[in-house]
Amino acid sequence: MTTAILSALPEEQAGLAGHLQGLRTQVHAGREFHLGHWHGHAVVFVLSRIGKVAAATTAATLIERFGASRLFFTGLAGGLGPQVRVGDTVIGTEYLQHDMDASPLFARHEVPLYGRARFAADAASAALLLASAQALPAGGGIDPAVRQRFGLGTASRLHQGLIVSGDRFVCRADEAHALRAALPDALAVDMEAAAVAQVCHDHGAPFAAIRHISDRADDQAHVDFPAYLAQVAALQARALIGALLDRLAQA
C-alpha cells in the first residue's frame, strides 16, 4: 500500500522527503513527486499547489500514475466553528465545496450528477489522523514564547467535522459570517480538501484531511501569515506527518 501525503505549501513538507529510504524524485505535470519508504512503508510526498483544480489534478495523478492507495492532505485553514480557535486542529469527517452552485438545476452546494454535496472521509484514515495528532506533545512542540506572541493557548484543541473548500481565500468577516449562516456545522474553510475528496470518491481511494487553524477567516487572516506559517503551522504539520507515518509503518 502506497500512502500519499499532499500539502499546498512547501513549508508544510520541508525536509521530510530527505527521511525517505531509497528516495527518488519524478517530475510530472509540473510537480515534483518524492517517492521512497518510511520504515518500510511506501510513501509519496507532493505539493498540490493552491486551489481546487490544482489539488484535484495532483490527486488524480497520485492515484493513476503513482499507484497511491490512500491519500492524506495536511495544511492550513481558517476557523469557522465558534469553538475553533487559532492554533487548533480540525480533522475532516466530511468535505463540501462552498462555492459550488448550479442552482436552479441542482440544489446549492450539490455537485451536479452526484446527488450529493458532501463527501465523507474514510473513517479509518480519519482515525489515524486523530491518533497521530493526539500523540503529539501538548502545545505542539512550539516554544511557549512563540505561542504567546501569536496569542495561542497553552495547548491546541482537536476538532472533528465538516471542512468546506472554495477557490477563494476567505479573509473578510462578512464572508466568514455568510459561510457560517449557510453551513452552520462547518468547522474550517480551505481551498483544496473537498476537491481531493471528490477525486478519491471517484477512484474509491481512502482519503482524510487534517487542517491547522491559522486564522479565523476574517479581516485579520492575512496578518503575519508568513511568520505564523514558518514558526508555528509548518512545524506542527511536519510533526504530524512524521507521527502519522510512524503509526502507519507500525501497522
Of 80, 96, 110, nearest to 209 (Cα)?
96
What's the CA gap between 35 and 21, in Å, rounded? Answer: 9
Q: Does the active-site annotation cover 110? A: no
- Between the CA of residue 41 and those of 1, 101, 119, what are the distances in Å? 8, 40, 27
Contact by Cβ (8 Å): 165, 192: yes
Please pick, among 11, 12, 88, 110, the residue that the annotation labels catalytic. 12
What's the CA gap between 15 and 17, in Å, rounded? Answer: 6
Contact by Cβ (8 Å): 129, 160: no
Q: Does the active-site annotation cover 215? A: yes
Q: Which helix (H) or strand (E) is 11 found in, with range?
A: none
Buried b (16+ CB within 10 A) or exposed e, 110-121: bbeeeeebbbeb
Please pick, among 11, 122, 175, 215, the residue that the annotation labels catalytic. 215
DSSP for 23-92?
A: EEEEEETTEEEEEEEETTEEEEEEE--SSHHHHHHHHHHHHHTT--SEEEEEEEEEE-STT--TT-EEEE
Catalytic sites, residue numbers: 12, 215
